[in-house]
């Protein structure tokens, strides 16, 4: 499931981009193997479709193995992209709501922890739609690349910075969108975004990769007295997958 974020996001973006055809699109996706059809369920919940709960309810019979998951989303016991647990300026959230078309989330809905899978999901939505809104959410994660206390946030922040630079280096449209985002960013985000854009323009991805790995290794080293070997191993695997291999 952790590696399926890109697929979830892409399908969510397809549904969001064609809201009047959502039921037909979901029906066309159903040939998915039942054990993997949770990807479609999550994509519907993450799509931001004005009637995403209705879509799930109408599609429930197609996904009998995932009835509990569907009920959890419909009853707000599982969070969607509307409830990302991240520190971000109100202006960014306001812009995102305009794209996802969500109403006010219920207070009882838990927040969605931001990890590598969520970052992949946001990229999937962008690749499906070309919309700037999921990109703005990724940009909002850039300050995490300067985190020096929380390994999870640092890893996600480094992933955000590297993937933005790597994708923008080969996509002029994406690079232009990032330049447009600069004016709307608070100082803490703008500085990291400028560096990301500079790396994309000069194809200086090696520097971003090295800085990311060095920062994560330094935090690992600082935490060694209190970290367990299992935690270190898990963090290193995430580092390799998130930074070296992207």
The number of folded domains in the chain is: 2
Q: Of 91, 112, 133, which closes a domain?
A: 112
Give me 13's structure tokens.
């973006």
For residue 67, being part of any structural domain is answered with yes
Q: pLDDT band at residue 223, thresholds of 50, 70 and 90?
A: confident
For residue 228, being part of any structural domain is answered with yes
Residues 91, 149: one domain?
no
Residues 155, 236: one domain?
yes
What was the pLDDT predicted at 95? 40
Q: pLDDT band at residue 149, thresholds of 50, 70 and 90?
A: confident
Mean of pLDDT over the chain? 84
Residues 151, 103: one domain?
no
Q: Which alpha helices (H) appear in the chain, and where do they start and end?
A: 5-17, 22-29, 38-46, 52-59, 67-74, 90-100, 116-129, 132-139, 151-169, 172-181, 187-201, 205-223, 229-239
Residues 149, 104: one domain?
no
Residues 108, 9: one domain?
yes
For residue 176, being part of any structural domain is answered with yes
Q: The domain containing residue 62 runs over which residues? A: 5-112
Residues 102, 188: one domain?
no
By three-state DSSP, how is residue 152 classified? helix
For residue 124, being part of any structural domain is answered with no
By three-state DSSP, how is residue 41 classified? helix
Measured from the Cβ of residue 198, the count of other Cβ atoms closer than 10 Å reads 13
What was the pLDDT predicted at 31? 73
Residues 101, 194: one domain?
no
What was the pLDDT predicted at 181? 93
Residues 24, 86: one domain?
yes
Residues 97, 186: one domain?
no
pTM of this structure: 0.81
Q: Of 62, 91, 112, which closes a domain?
A: 112
For residue 120, being part of any structural domain is answered with no
Residues 107, 30: one domain?
yes
Residues 96, 152: one domain?
no
72-117 tens-digit pLDDT: 999 999 999 988 877 544 444 344 444 444 444 445 568 888 999 9
């Amino acid at each position: 499931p952790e590696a399926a974020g890109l697929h979830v996001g892409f399908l969510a973006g397809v549904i969001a981009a064609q809201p009047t055809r959502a039921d037909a699109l979901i029906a066309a996706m159903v040939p998915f193997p039942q054990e993997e059809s949770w990807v479609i369920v999550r994509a519907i919940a993450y799509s931001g479709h004005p009637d995403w709960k209705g879509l799930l309810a109408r599609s429930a019979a197609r996904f009998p193995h995932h009835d509990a998951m569907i009920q959890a989303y419909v009853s707000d016991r599982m969070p969607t992209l509307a409830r990302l647990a991240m520190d971000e300026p109100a202006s960014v959230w306001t812009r995102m709501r305009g794209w996802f078309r969500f109403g006010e989330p219920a207070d009882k809905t838990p927040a969605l922890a931001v990890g590598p899978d969520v970052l992949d999901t946001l990229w999937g939505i962008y690749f499906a739609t070309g919309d700037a809104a999921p990109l703005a959410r990724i940009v909002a994660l850039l300050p995490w690349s300067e985190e020096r206390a929380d390994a999870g946030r640092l890893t996600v922040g480094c992933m955000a910075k590297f993937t933005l630079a790597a994708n923008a280096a080969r996509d002029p449209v994406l690079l232009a969108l990032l330049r447009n985002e600069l004016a709307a960013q608070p100082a803490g985000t703008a500085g990291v975004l400028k560096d990301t854009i500079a790396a994309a323009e000069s194809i200086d991805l090696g520097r971003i990769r090295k800085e990311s790995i060095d920062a994560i290794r330094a935090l690992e080293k600082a935490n060694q007295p209190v970290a367990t070997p299992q935690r270190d191993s898990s963090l290193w695997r995430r580092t390799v997958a998130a930074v070296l291999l992207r």
